[in-house]
Structure 1
Amino acid sequence: MSYKDTLQMPKTNFPMKGSLPNKEPGMQEQWEAAGMYDKVQQRTEGRPLFVLHDGPPYANGDIHMGHALNKILKDFIVRSRSMMGFHAPYVPGWDTHGLPIETALTKKGKVDRKKLTTAEFRKKCEEYALGQIDSQREQFKRLGVRGDWDNPYVTLTHEYEAQQIKVFGDMAKKGFIYKGKKPVYWSPSSESALAEAEIEYHDKRSASIYVSFDVTENKGVLLGDEKFIIWTTTPWTIPANLAIAVHPDLTYSAVETGGETYIVAEDLIEELAELLEWKEYHIRAHYKGQELEGLRTKHPLYDRESLVILGEHVTTEAGTGCVHTAPGHGEDDYIVGQKYGLDVLCPVNDQGVFTEEAPMFEGLFYDTANKTISEKLDEAGRLLKLDFFTHSYPHDWRTKKPVIYRATSQWFASIKDFRSDLLREVEKVEWLPKWGETRLYNMVRDRGDWCISRQRAWGVPIPIFYGEDGEAIITDETIDHVSELFRMHGSNIWFEKEAADLLPEGFTSEHSPGGTFTKETDIMDVWFDSGSSHQAVLEEREELQRPADVYLEGSDQYRGWFNSSLSTAVAVTGQAPFNTVISHGFTLDGQGKKMSKSQGNVVVPDKVMKQLGADILRLWTASVDYQADVRVSDDILKQVSEGYRKIRNTYRFLLGNLADFEPEQHMVRFENRSGVNQYMTIKLQELIRSVRDSYDQYQFSHVYNQIHQFCVIEMSSFYMDISKDTLYTKQPDDAERRGIQSVMYEALTALLKLMSPILPHTVEEAWVELPGTPEADAAQLTDMPQPAVFEGVEELEAAWDRFMVLRDDVMKALEDARNNQGIKKNLHAFVTVYASDQDKELLESLDELEKLFIVSGASVKSLEEAPAQAVEYDYMQVLVERKEGEECERCRIVTTELGQDEDHPTLCPVCTETVVTHFASREV
């Protein structure tokens, strides 16, 4: 007889090797053909609604690791919520307007913008955007992200644009929309205004100049021959200077040096003396800043005066305490200038070139003019110091070129008019991480009014008409009409028709007695587009609701989508559009550096999926602390792959040992299980409870770590190891064997469900191999397991917990014996443990201690009996000796009882009984 044939060895179709890149696409095709998303929605219909609102990625280019991290995290949430008692639809979206698409068309697409009308050009932009959506959609689906991909929301669709117009109209109706000329971030390279969210900071080398202004009218306050000194890092704004600001409460001094007397802040005199190389100086007088208000100085280049004014924004952190003020080129300058009725002078055009309002410099690009202006100041004897320094400076996030502050006529949303409401709502929202609340609160608190107009073609037009008198016309009637036109025809109609054709039939206005109207040509900031999604998506689509339960985006969206969504929603509804906001960090390379093609350190999702599979990318996402910046590299992904292999092998071992298990027939109830099987059942319930809590708190790394530890420590290193002998060698219906299989079946079913949101492909591959009648066609069509509660098991669990600690000492002793005593296998060993009375009593109460230690013999004695050769470990002393006897050919234990049956002389008595009873008819 071949004893190998009498063993119950694992059997399964679930392979050790995942081959994910080959299998996953086919599985995704099957899910799509089966309508898996719709099946999930149908299954959960009627449950409490849970809405994760997708922040729209920009429809341009292939997805990168940041996209992958973002979409996979969202998928974790949606999948887990649909398995935890909620109805969780997921509607993906895309942001489609803006400069990048215009640039892509004109550069990459080689479209000659000048040969097309605005409407024609916009049509091409739309076609390009839709093509980009198709490409990105397939890449997102390849990640295993489940959603309503056939019906996404897209910011260029008619219904979206119609709702966006409604949002604008509601804000205008409440008085939050106005037009004004004030300084805004202006990008000469884009020829458009920018919002704060469209600004990023890079180092820039700038000039630093100190300039004197002669006092022309001192009102009897000064001695009569003083000069004010100002400091600026933007010499090009000197032609726009209209004032000098001083702080009302600072002390200013008249400092005489080298035959001149200068007015500067007292606190800065020593610093300025060194910087401007004043060899000797003395103080002639002191003044409070408020005493200097109303004095007049002569502009250093032009025949006009610059007024001395008071400003709370003036500090002594740098400069002279006398602040160069150009209301057309700075926010503080503008605000303080309004108090004094100063003009908003801005002698720079859309391209950043000086106009005729800047004599001597007309036609010069602003940055080029820095040198010329400095030279002119020097010629006039007004330049006291010129230096250069490198500092962080705002740049256009698209063109990567410097921006300027420039006063233009723009449309604004007046944040200050509902700032208190915004701050109140920020405090109501749950923020993960918690610091997000402080970050957005401070942004809202310090934010100026939102410039929402852009001088571009590809976007949603601002729905404003103008009468013959130049006054803006915006009424409920015009807004409703334009909204309906956009819903029917799309926003391109605004550029295809004249103003009169866009107005309601028979529309009249006191601003146009002659019936002549014009229309606004600016478009809305793209952040207004995406920021309107709470109405254009959450309200527009019947399967969703406002506010959403969760917004989840990168940490850069505090100043972007989180901010614009909050602003428009509170302005329109008085309520934040989200209950919880979760932010994640940026993806960096393995050394924590930003990825860039030039550095050659870019990890591309598509490449990872082709080499390792989407489930590896998903497991990486689950393994990192996503709320901070995360690292990814080939080495890191290899480590993740090793973790995946251990989880997969756990599934495989459990499936293999359930080959002859029928749950309906063979399941052993908890109360009938042995102590170790009850203990593992209890541990499984703790895992289920903890993992559910982690999903509930969006702590996916905890989910991964707990499941990985359970598979590797509790299952592989302990339970599966000690169970092999029983599973393989006992009779098929042996009570202990069926008890072990019962635990394994429950564990496998739970592990598959718990990991379904993270490893959907692997889980579904294993799910179809589960024994018995399947609960559902797919794991994702089930609910998470609920932890069972067993009464009166506290002592049992405590005892086994203690045993596990003691067992570690035995495992260390066996390892030492293999290394130092020539005992090749644990089954060749006899272990004697010398324990305290309490631990001795515990160990003696356990059945088949040698199986728990996986040795051929074990005994327990009192600590006082320990011989000198026993080794002391953490909790007890252990003596490992070679077991006397020979190895059983079938179960491999060492025993002195071989040969008791002449037909089976190489078997131990237990194996002999099993073979004779159940396998006697088999022949060699």
Structure 2
Amino acid sequence: MNYKDTLLMPKTEFPMRGNLPNKEPIRRQDWEDRNLYEKNLERTKDRPLFILHDGPPYANGDLHIGHALNKILKDFITRYKSMAGYHAPYIPGWDTHGLPIETALTKKKKINRKQIPVAEFRQMCADYAMEQIDNQREQFKQLGVRGDWDNPYITLTKEYEAAQIKVFGEMAKKGYIYKGLKPVYWSPSSESALAEAEIEYKDKRSPSIYVAFETIDGKGLLEGGEKFIIWTTTPWTIPANLGISLHPNLEYVVVAVNNEKYVVAHDLLEPLEEEFGWEEATIVKTFKGQAADKIVAKHPFYERESIVMLGDHVTTEAGTGCVHTAPGHGEDDFYVAKQYNIDVLCPIDERGYFTKEAPGFTGMFYDEANKAVTEKLDEVGALLLLKFITHSYPHDWRTKKPTIFRATSQWFASIKDFRHDILQEIKKVNWYPHWGETRLYNMVRDREDWCISRQRTWGVPIPVFYGEDQTPIITDETIQHVSNLFAEYGSNIWFEWEANELLPDGFTSEHSPNGIFTKETDIMDVWFDSGSSHEGVLMNRKDHVRPADIYLEGSDQYRGWFNSSLSTAVAVTGKAPYKTIVSHGFVLDGEGRKMSKSIGNVMVPSKVLKQLGADILRLWVSSVDYQADVRISPEILKQVSESYRKIRNTFRFILANLADFDPNKDTVAEAELQPVDRYMLYRLQSLVTDVKEDYDHYEFSSIFHRIHNFCAVDLSSFYLDFAKDILYIEEANSPLRRSIQTAYYEILTSIVKLLTPIIPHTAEEVWEYIPGVDAESVQLTDMPEPREIEQFGQDDQAKWNHFMNVRDDVLKALEEARNDKVIGKSLEAKITLTAKDEETKAVLEMIPNVHQLLIVSEAVVSTTVSDNAKTYKYVHAVVEKHTGEKCERCWMSSHTVGENEQYEALCTRCAEIVDAHYAE
């Protein structure tokens, strides 16, 4: 007889290899064909609503790995919530206006936007955006992200634009919107104003110059001829200089050196002496800044005055304490000059070139003018020192080119008018990580006004009319009318119709006695677009779900979408648009470097999917501490693949050992389960409790590590390993065997459900092989609920936990015996254990067939310590080679081998099983 044929070996068609790149697309198509997303919504429709509001990615280009991280994290949450007692629809969105699409058309498709009618160019932009959405939508779906992909929200749609107009109108109604002249971030490369959220800082090499301004009217404090020294890293702003700012409470000195007299802050004299190489500088006069108010100096090379002004913005952190003041190119400069009724001078056009207001430099690009201005200063003897420094400098985050401050007439939202309300709302939000609260709070606390106008074409028009006297007209009537028009026709009509056609019939205004109106040509900042989504999306739903339960985006959105959404929502409703904020870091390469095409370290999601599959990428997302910057590389993904393989093999082993198990008739009553099986079910309940708590707190890496460890340690290294002696050897309906299978079944179904939000393709595949499940899909089930295990109390928990510690001692003893060549495999061993304490003694006496759990052929519990015993933490142990013969069926060494004459190669246990069920 071939005794192998008498074993109940594992059987399953569940494949060892996932072959994910090939199988996942087929599975996703199947989900789509079966309308699983819609079925899930129908299944959960009567449950409490949970809304994760999607921060819209920009509709341009293929997805990068950061997109994948973001969307997969969101999918974890919505999938989990739908299995945890909630109705969790997911509506994806896209941000579609702004410069990148204009640039894509002009560069990639060689379109000259200035030679095409505005409305026609805008239609081209819209068409391009929709093409990009189609492309990105398919790529997001390939990640396994589940949602209402056929009905996303898109910021260029009529309905959305109409809602955005209402937000603008409500803010204007409350007095938060105004038009004013002041310096703003200006991007010559974009030819447009920018908001703070559109600025990024990068290193830039700049000239560092010290310039002397000679006093021509000392106002009785100075004699005349003294020279105020200013310091600047933007020489090109010197032609716009109208003054010098001092701090009223700082102490200033007049120092005599090299036959000249210079004015600087006293606190900075020592470092300036070193900088200029002054060896014999003598203080000839000391005065407080306020005493120098309105002293008149002379511009270095123009025939005009530079007035000394007083301002609290002056510091002694760097420079000279005398601040070069160009009201057209600095916010502090602008405000201090305003107090002195000094007009703004801004001799730079929208492209960054000097106008005729800067004689000698007209037509020169501002950055190139640095050299020319410096040379002019040197020529007239005003340049004291020229060096070069590398410093952090603001850049346009779209074009990556440097920005400038430039005074222009712009539309602003006055954040300071409702800043207190925003700060109060920030305190009510749940923050993951917790430092997010401080970060956004500090940003808002220091924020003044938000420049919301842009001098571009592709965006939502600012819905303002002008009267004949150029007074801006924004009324409830005009806003509602424009909103209605946009809802019907779209915003392109703003550029196609005349102003009078866009106004309500019969509209009149005191500002236009002749009934002639014009319209604003600027568009809104794209952050106003996406920041209005609480109105355009959340309030456009039938159930009006503002505030959303959660916003989840990258950490750069504290200055972006988190910020703009909060500002517009508090302005309109007085409340935050979200209850919880979760932010994630950036994705770096394996060495912690930013991904760059020039370095060649960019990882593209589509390539990962083709090589490894979406579930591997999703498992990687679950494995990292996403709230900080995370790393990805082929080596890291290889490690993740190994973890996936361990989990998959665990599923396969359990499935294979449930081949003959029918849960409807073979399940063992809990009271009749074997103690070790009850213990493993207790361990499972702990896992379920912890994992669900991790999901609720968005701690996905903890979920990954808990489940991986449970599969690798609790199951593979212990429960699945020793159970082979029962599952393969005992008869099919043995109570011992059915007890293990009962536990296996619950363990399998529970872990599959716990992992469904993370690796849905694999979870669905496993689900199809589980016997007796009644749900069409694992996605249409609920998370397991932790429960009490019958006849398993706290004492049992403590004893079994202690047994696992004792087992660690035994494994060490066996390993040492193996190294000493006493035994080969552990089944060759007989081990004698003597407890070192009463707790260990009680545990060893509690467990029947302890040799099976330790995977040895014989385990003896002794009360005396043998002379050759080795001492471990909990036991004294003697490992020796078993003196019995090896059973050819179970491979145990036993003294009973050969006792049955019919089956001489078998131990009595195996002989009885074979005789009863397999005798020829």
TM-score range, shorter chain: over 0.9
Match of 1:30 in 2: 30
Contact 1:242/1:307 (8 A) holds in 2 = yes
Residues 315-351 of structure 1, C-alpha deviation per residue, up to 9 Å, x if partnerless?
1111110101111101111122222212111110001
Q: Cα deviation per residue 1:375-420 (whole Å; 9 max; x = unaligned)?
A: 1112222111111111111111111111100001111111111111
* Residue identity opposite 1:836 in structure 2: K
- Alpha-carbon separation, structure 1, partners of 2:803 and 2:502: 81
Q: Identify the residue that residue 902 of structure 2 maps to in structure 1.
A: 903
Secondary structure of residue in 1 paired with 2:901 = coil
Take 1:640 and 1:888, find their aligned partners in 2: how far apart are those partners?
Answer: 40
How far off is 1:225 after superposition? 3.3
Percent of aligned positions that are identical: 64
Q: Which amino acid aligns with 1:492?
A: N
C-alpha separation between the residues in 2 aligned to 1:30 and 1:905?
55
The two structures, once aligned, show a CA RMSD in angstroms of 1.1
**Residue 866 (structure 1) shift:** 2.7
Correspondence for 1:473: 473
Aligned to 1:228, what secondary structure does the other structure show? strand
Instruction: Give the gaps of 5 or more residues in structure 2.
Output: none
- Matches of 1:11 and 1:218, distance apart in 2: 100
Letter in 1 for 2:142: R
Contact kept, 8 Å, 1:775 with 1:782, in 2: the verdict is no
SS of corresponding position for 1:147: coil
Deviations 1:557-607 (A, max 9, x none): 110111111111111111111111010000000000011111111111111
Provide the C-alpha distance between the structure 2 equivalents of 1:203 and 1:846, rounded to a whole number of angstroms.
68
Shift of residue 877, structure 1, vs aligned partner: 2.3
Question: Partners of 2:916 and 2:634 in 1: how far apart?
Answer: 55
Residue 614 of structure 2: aligned partner: 614
Partner residue of 2:682?
A: 682
Q: Contact 2:822/2:880 (CA < 8 Å) preserved in 1?
A: no
Q: Which moved more, 1:670-679 or 1:796-805?
A: 670-679
In the TM superposition, 1:688-727 aligns within 5 A as 688-727=688-727
Aligned-pair distance for 1:852? 0.9
Equivalence for 2:914: 915
| Code of the aligned partner of 1:748 | L
The 5 A counterparts of 1:636-647 are: 636-647=636-647
Specify the code of the residue in structure 2 equivalent to 1:599.
Answer: I
Structure 2 SS opposite 1:428:
coil
**Structure 1 residue 273 corresponds to structure 2 residue 289:** no
Paired letter, 1:882: K
AA aligned opposite 1:604: V
2:184 is paired with a residue whose SS is strand
Equivalent position of 2:846 in the other structure: 845
For these two proteins, the number of residue pairs brought into alignment is: 918
Distance, in Å, in 2 between the alignment partners of 1:598 and 1:133 is 27
- Give the structure 2 partner of residue 783 of structure 1: 782
Superposed, 1:368-767 pairs within 5 Å as 368-542=368-542, 545-767=545-767
Task: Report the Cα offset of residue 897 of structure 1.
Answer: 1.3
Out of 356-365 and 608-617, give the one that drifted further: 356-365
Structure 1 CA distance for aligned equivalents of residues 702 and 646 of structure 2: 17
The match for 1:771 is: 771
CA distance in 1, matches of 2:889, 2:720: 19
Equivalent position of 1:854 in the other structure: 855
CA–CA separation in structure 2 for the residues paired with 1:197 and 1:728 = 64
Q: Quick check: 2:299–2:306 contact (8 Å CA) kept in 1?
A: yes
The residue number in structure 2 matching 1:242 is 242
C-alpha separation between the residues in 1 aligned to 2:599 and 2:263? 51
1:353, 1:362 within 8 Å by CA — same for their partners in 2?
yes
Q: Structure 1: which amino acid aligns with 2:779?
A: Q
Give the whole-Å Cα distance in 2 for the aligned partners of 1:403 and 1:14: 59
Post-superposition shift, 1:544? 5.7
In structure 2, give the amino acid aligned to 1:788.
Answer: R
Q: Is the 8 A contact 1:89 1:544 kept in 2?
A: no
Could you state the TM-score of these two structures normalised by the residue count of structure 1? 0.98
Structure 1 residue 358 and structure 2 residue 358: aligned?
yes
* Residue correspondence of structure 1 range 203-352 to structure 2 within 5 A: 203-352=203-352
1:223 CA displacement = 3.4
Matched with 1:890 is 889
Q: Distance in 2 between matches of 1:362 and 1:110?
A: 30
Deviation at 1:32, TM superposition (A): 0.6
Give 2:107's aligned amino acid.
K
Could you tell me how far apart the structure 2 residues matched to 1:570 and 1:282 are? 57
The aligned counterpart of 2:57 is 57
Q: CA deviation at 1:630?
A: 0.3
**Is the 1:840–1:861 contact (alpha carbons within 8 Å) kept by the matching residues of 2?**
no
Q: Which amino acid aligns with 1:852?
A: L
Does the 8 Å CA contact 2:411/2:453 hold for their aligned counterparts?
A: yes
The answer to whether the 8 Å contact 1:89/1:543 transfers is no
Report if aligned partners of 1:51, 1:544 keep a CA contact under 8 Å in 2. no
Displacement after TM superposition at 1:822 (Å): 4.9
Does structure 1 retain, via aligned residues, the 8 Å contact 2:814–2:826?
yes
**2:74 is aligned with 1:74:** yes
Distance 1:340 1:816 in 2: 88
Q: How far did 1:114 drift? A: 3.4
What is the rounded CA distance, in whole Å, between the counterparts of 1:351 and 1:866 in structure 2? 92
Aligned-partner Cα distance in 1 for 2:876–2:865: 10
SS in 1 for 2:664: helix
Whether the aligned pair in 1 keeps the contact of 2:822 and 2:881 (CA below 8 Å) is: no
Q: How far apart are 1:543 and its partner, in Å?
A: 5.2
Q: Deviations over 1:530-559 (max 9, x none)?
A: 111011001112256100110000001110
Assess, with a 3 A threshold, how the Cα gap between structure 1 residues 865 and 822 changes in structure 2: closer, same or farther.
closer
1:825 aligns with 2:830: no
**Worse-matched range after superposition: 309-318 or 212-221:** 212-221
Report the Cα offset of residue 849 of structure 1.
1.1
Distance 1:718 1:368 in 2: 72
Per the alignment, residue 168 of structure 2 pairs with: 168
Which has the larger displacement, 169-178 or 114-123? 114-123
Mapped partners of 2:776, 2:819: distance in 1: 50
Contact 1:230/1:319 (8 A) holds in 2: yes
SS of 1:903's partner is: helix
CA contact (8 A) 2:835 2:875 kept: yes
Deviation at 1:498, TM superposition (A): 1.0
Partner of 1:132: 132
Superposed displacement of residue 694, structure 1: 0.4
TM-score by length of 2: 0.99
Distance 2:20 2:274 in 1: 69
How many Å apart are 1:903 and its aligned residue?
Answer: 2.0
Question: What secondary structure does 2:728 align onto?
Answer: helix
Q: Is the 8 A contact 2:898 2:904 kept in 1?
A: yes
* Residue range with higher mean Cα deviation, 351-360 or 151-160: 351-360
Hey, what's the Cα distance between the residues in 1 that align with 2:575 and 2:585? 27
How much has 1:112 moved relative to structure 2? Answer: 2.9
Secondary structure at the counterpart of residue 723 of structure 2? helix
What letter is aligned with 2:463? P
Deviations 1:725-767 (A, max 9, x none): 1111111111111110110000001001000000100000010
What is the CA-CA distance between 1:286 and the residue it aligns to?
Answer: 0.8
Give the C-alpha shift of residue 209 in structure 1: 1.0
| Equivalent position of 2:799 in the other structure | 799
CA deviation after TM superposition for structure 1 residue 841, in Å: 2.9
Which deviates more, 293-302 or 465-474?
A: 293-302
Detail structure 1 runs of 4+ shifted over 3 Å in the superposition: none
